[in-house]
Structure 1
Amino acid sequence: MATFEEQSTVHAFRDDALGEHDAVGLAEAIRRREVGAAEVARDAAARVRAVEARLNAVQVHVDAPADGSKADGAFAGVPTFVKDNVDYLGLPTGHGSAAFAPRAVRRHAPFTRQFLNSGVTVLGKTRLPEFGFSPTTEYENAEPVRNPWHTGHSAGGSSGGSAALVAAGAVPIAHANDGGGSIRIPAACCGLVGLKPTRGRLVANAQSRQLPIDIVTDGVVSRSVRDSAAFLAAAERYWRNPKLPPLGLVEGPSERRLRIGFLLDSPNGVRSDAATRAAVTETATRLERLGHTVQPVELAIDPRFTEDFLTYWGLLSFLIGVTGRTFGADFDRRRMDGLSRGLREAYVQSWRRTPAVLRRLRRTREAYAAAFRGLDLVLTPVLAHTTPPLGHLAPTVPYPTLIERILAYVAFTPVNNVVGTPSVSVPAASATVDGLPVGVMFSGRPGDERTLLEVAFALEADRPFRRVQDL
């Protein structure tokens, strides 16, 4: 049972150089010389220290953070963190795993260089569940990352450490990535904006290029829509994929009236809980009041999609087990956690299905495209039920029970990873009875992050997102 201490709200907002600025506002204050970048970095580090004992969100601290590499970048001087599954020169990359001892890496990952080009100041690396497999950031033999809105609950996963720090006000923006919902899930749990870009919108890391289906996309979690929009614009100035339409800087809602489909229950048959259904229904009503047309839609994906995605998930765990010594000479797959082991062992029993699984997953784009005929966006829940208490999805839960719980929770997000389409989680106006945030999700056509951001801007302007510091 959670103690009173575990059930409290935690935040770092105070009267210092960061104030209540989002990343865009803080960068503007630095450019106007109202505050200095060194002062901001110092105060952000103090904020992290103030909440870290309660949140357990940081994996590695940078002792002497340097200003971002691009002084005129959109986020010049803005403090941030990178997730501990992307290489940052001089820091170890641990992937959330106890199966090996990570060593300092010799170069930045391609995405890290793209992120640094925006001018951010990196203060360290954030925690994630082992190899990003879990929708909660919990461990077998370590303290979990806690949700700043209600510390007895999950911060989501796999970008849970980043989401916890941003929601708590330690930094205004942080790196996240998404291979099955890992940007959008923690954003929903922590009341943030979390946009998973189109496959190929950002530079790809080496691991992504080696996957049979590249399901992983980097991005950020933020407290405002304009921060996520500014991040994508800055990333595009560093490198733009010529195969995708240019995005530019999206600065607010559009006057366009959209046709938006919505569904409340997952195509795989999982029914959403009452609070989640209410959040989506309320959002649909708000959109209609704003002049958009909202109508029910069906996403007729293959009924084997969930089983197929689970097999693919298991393939990834199997490949890590086989190639683990690339992470470190001391890698021991027997030390991987219960979820990773369970996924790997299940895959070993079903590996012969792999070619058929890959064929069916690749065909999901046809069903996705069919659902969008005559529509601009689709509105759904992010998750089938609201944020669970810590322990519900922990890797210590026996695998058959754990995977059943995960599939009953993560029932909406993986489709976008398989198809490669953009999707954004934004906070709903409503909350759970415990005051926890509830996220709603918009999915778009390939390359159409602009429409996602415009509708997110409209909802934010209509009713500003709830803030943890106001509780």
Structure 2
Amino acid sequence: MDDVLRMDAVGQARAVRDGQVSPRELVEAAIARIEARDGELNAVVHRRFERALAELAGIPEEAPFRGVPILLKDLGWRQAGEPYSGGSHVLDGLRVERDGYGVARLRAAGFVVLGRTNTPELGSTITTEPVAFGPTRNPYGPGYSPGGSSGGSAAAVAAGMVAVATASDGGGSIRIPASLCGLVGLKPTRGRISFGPDGGEGWSGFSCPGFVTRSVRDTAAALDLVSGFRPGDPYDAPALPGPLAGEVGADPGRLRVGFVTRHPRGDVPEDPEVSEAVTRAAGLLEALGHDVGPSWPEALGDAGFPLRFGAVVADNLAAEIENIGSWRGRPVELTELEPRNAELVRAGRAHSAAQHILAVQWIDAFRRRMAAWWESGYDLLLAPSLGVAPFELGWIPPHDLSVASGRTARAVAYTSPVNATGQPAISLPLHVSRSGLPVGVQLVAAAGREDLLVRVAAQVEAARPFTHAALG
């Protein structure tokens, strides 16, 4: 069964249809893999193996992903009857009443949910080391972080527990774990996937649901399943020309690609290994026939961005704590939170409504300034997925908030602006550090152009097939 677990989700679905493996055999193999590997990695914090096996009989034979196992990030991606922790003890004992739209669509397509994956408390940082559940370890090096906030999902997919897991990205939380775990991670355009029925947006529009996978075609197929406007959603992403799965293998044409290896803001030290990853990717894109040269949006260098972005995040976290208090029936005390989150909530509570609106309006102007670069004739921006080299567990210290804040700001310097603009971006596993850890690179397209990202990513994958050494 190891050969089947090494397949991507599209391959596993085909193996089921062809009779190579039964849905039960596939699910049981994934469960065995989790039990064998998760003791070291700590990626899966809630398991539902017996319920998953019992659900197999109710999946229609025509479901396209019948019997393919999947894991859900324990932040967003709500499933009826299951616990929801968000990486924190403040939600202990609570269970979800109904499926989110995305989860309902995945289950209708035949995916079998095996459990929920670890995430930092409330998803507010770039490493998965919550006090509530303990750290998740990177399959490429157990002393290293798998990133965050979708670190549990990324570690599970990289280790072969499942071929695909859900994720979400508010400041880089799909792309950063994908980079650190050697995976494909696409942050969709704002509004591409609904937060309904229980939510409208995440972090004032910064956050987007998505997936981490081992292949471009899995990312495309999974996004096709869950994408689409639902009545009442606050946003509607520009329409795609067709299913993203149909873009895999399509010719992207000759594209104009700008790249950046040194952050124009000036306060982000350049990391040689990260710069090498981008430079090599630029050479690959040029060899594939694209017009590649150093260029980037002028707004990327605006020193005012981190302050406004951080303010909006803090305001949203303060609101989330109020919501959690209502959900569980008693207010959340700041002493119940990890120090980082307690400080963010304090900051959010100290902001006036006017200050919040002014920060959002600043971001509105920033988004237009960023978009001007694509309007000037560029198709893609090539940049680091993570502003620092792969880092060890503990590198973001839980109690030294000044150091933690500075390191986080450097790490998300290339990802968080794309959350603010709502554009799609994809991280691809194209480099390995001298320590043997994966280093991803990021491609950013104009709003609504996931189709272009999938075309180019598939072209890159075909030219330089992704390797997944952590599968064992």
Same fold (TM > 0.5): yes
> Secondary structure in 2 aligned to 1:213?
helix
1:461 alignment counterpart:
462
User: Are positions 1:286 and 2:289 aligned together?
Assistant: no
Gap change, CA 1:101 and 1:45, over 3 Å in 2: same
Gap change, CA 1:299 and 1:26, over 3 Å in 2: same
1:11 alignment counterpart:
none
Return structure 1 stretches of 4+ with deviation > 6 angstroms: 237-240
Structure 2 Cα separation of the partners of residues 258 and 369 of structure 1: 17
Higher-helix-fraction structure:
2
1:375 alignment counterpart:
378
Gap change, CA 1:245 and 1:253, over 3 Å in 2: closer
Q: Choose which of 128, 152, 159 in structure 2 pairs with 1:168.
A: 159
Deviates more, 1:91-100 or 1:198-207: 198-207
Q: Quote how far apart the aligned CAs of 1:69 are.
A: 5.0
**1:194-205 matches, cutoff 5 A:** 194-205=185-196
1:303 alignment counterpart:
303
Q: Which amino acid aligns with 1:399?
A: L
Q: Quote how far apart the aligned CAs of 1:210 are.
A: 5.4
**1:223-302 matches, cutoff 5 A:** 223-236=214-227, 243-248=238-243, 249=245, 250-269=247-266, 270-301=268-299, 302=302
Alignment check: 8 A CA contact 2:139 2:470 kept: no
Q: Which amino acid aligns with 2:274?
A: T
Q: Choose which of 80, 96, 102 in structure 1 pairs with 2:70.
A: 80
Q: Quote how far apart the aligned CAs of 1:114 are.
A: 2.4
> Secondary structure in 2 aligned to 1:357?
helix
2:337 alignment counterpart:
336
Q: Which amino acid aligns with 1:379?
A: L
Structure 1 Cα separation of the partners of residues 447 and 441 of structure 2: 19
User: Are positions 1:393 and 2:393 aligned together?
Assistant: no
Gap change, CA 1:119 and 1:331, over 3 Å in 2: farther
User: Are positions 1:189 and 2:180 aligned together?
Assistant: yes
Alignment check: 8 A CA contact 1:208 1:216 kept: no
Q: Quote how far apart the aligned CAs of 1:140 are.
A: 3.3
Deviates more, 1:406-415 or 1:183-192: 406-415
> Secondary structure in 1 aligned to 2:106?
helix
Q: Which amino acid aligns with 2:39?
A: A
> Secondary structure in 2 aligned to 1:18?
helix
Which whole-Å deviations, capped at 9, do the CAs of 1:400-457 have from their partners, x for residues lacking one?
22111111111111122111111100011x3111100001000011111011111111
**1:52-67 matches, cutoff 5 A:** 52-62=38-48, 63-65=50-52, 66-67=55-56
Alignment check: 8 A CA contact 2:216 2:248 kept: no
Q: Quote how far apart the aligned CAs of 1:282 are.
A: 0.3
Structure 2 Cα separation of the partners of residues 120 and 38 of structure 1: 12
Q: Choose which of 189, 208, 216 in structure 2 pairs with 1:217.
A: 208
Gap change, CA 1:322 and 1:267, over 3 Å in 2: farther
Q: Choose which of 118, 124, 137 in structure 1 pairs with 2:109.
A: 118
Structure 2 Cα separation of the partners of residues 427 and 437 of structure 1: 7
Structure 1 Cα separation of the partners of residues 304 and 237 of structure 2: 34
Which whole-Å deviations, capped at 9, do the CAs of 1:309-336 have from their partners, x for residues lacking one?
1111111221123333134135533211
Q: What fraction of aligned residue pairs are identical, expressed as a percent? A: 35
2:168 alignment counterpart:
177
Structure 2 Cα separation of the partners of residues 292 and 189 of structure 1: 27
Structure 2 Cα separation of the partners of residues 442 and 33 of structure 1: 38
Which whole-Å deviations, capped at 9, do the CAs of 1:260-286 have from their partners, x for residues lacking one?
111113343313300000000000001
Structure 2 Cα separation of the partners of residues 218 and 400 of structure 1: 29
> Secondary structure in 1 aligned to 2:355?
helix
Q: Quote how far apart the aligned CAs of 1:178 are.
A: 1.0
Structure 1 Cα separation of the partners of residues 70 and 202 of structure 2: 28
1:36 alignment counterpart:
22
Q: Quote how far apart the aligned CAs of 1:53 are.
A: 0.6
Gap change, CA 1:151 and 1:211, over 3 Å in 2: closer
Gap change, CA 1:440 and 1:358, over 3 Å in 2: same
Deviates more, 1:126-135 or 1:296-305: 296-305
> Secondary structure in 1 aligned to 2:94?
coil
Gap change, CA 1:71 and 1:183, over 3 Å in 2: farther
Unpaired runs of 5+ residues, structure 1, are 1-14
1:321 alignment counterpart:
321
Structure 2 Cα separation of the partners of residues 364 and 451 of structure 1: 23
Gap change, CA 1:208 and 1:244, over 3 Å in 2: farther
Q: Quote how far apart the aligned CAs of 1:209 are.
A: 1.7
Which whole-Å deviations, capped at 9, do the CAs of 1:98-148 have from their partners, x for residues lacking one?
223132222111221122233211001111111111111012364200000
> Secondary structure in 1 aligned to 2:211?
strand
Gap change, CA 1:135 and 1:212, over 3 Å in 2: closer
Q: Quote how far apart the aligned CAs of 1:386 are.
A: 1.3
Structure 2 Cα separation of the partners of residues 297 and 194 of structure 1: 23
1:10 alignment counterpart:
none
1:5 alignment counterpart:
none
Gap change, CA 1:74 and 1:219, over 3 Å in 2: farther
Structure 1 Cα separation of the partners of residues 347 and 337 of structure 2: 15
Q: What's the RMSD between the two structures over aligned residues? A: 2.2
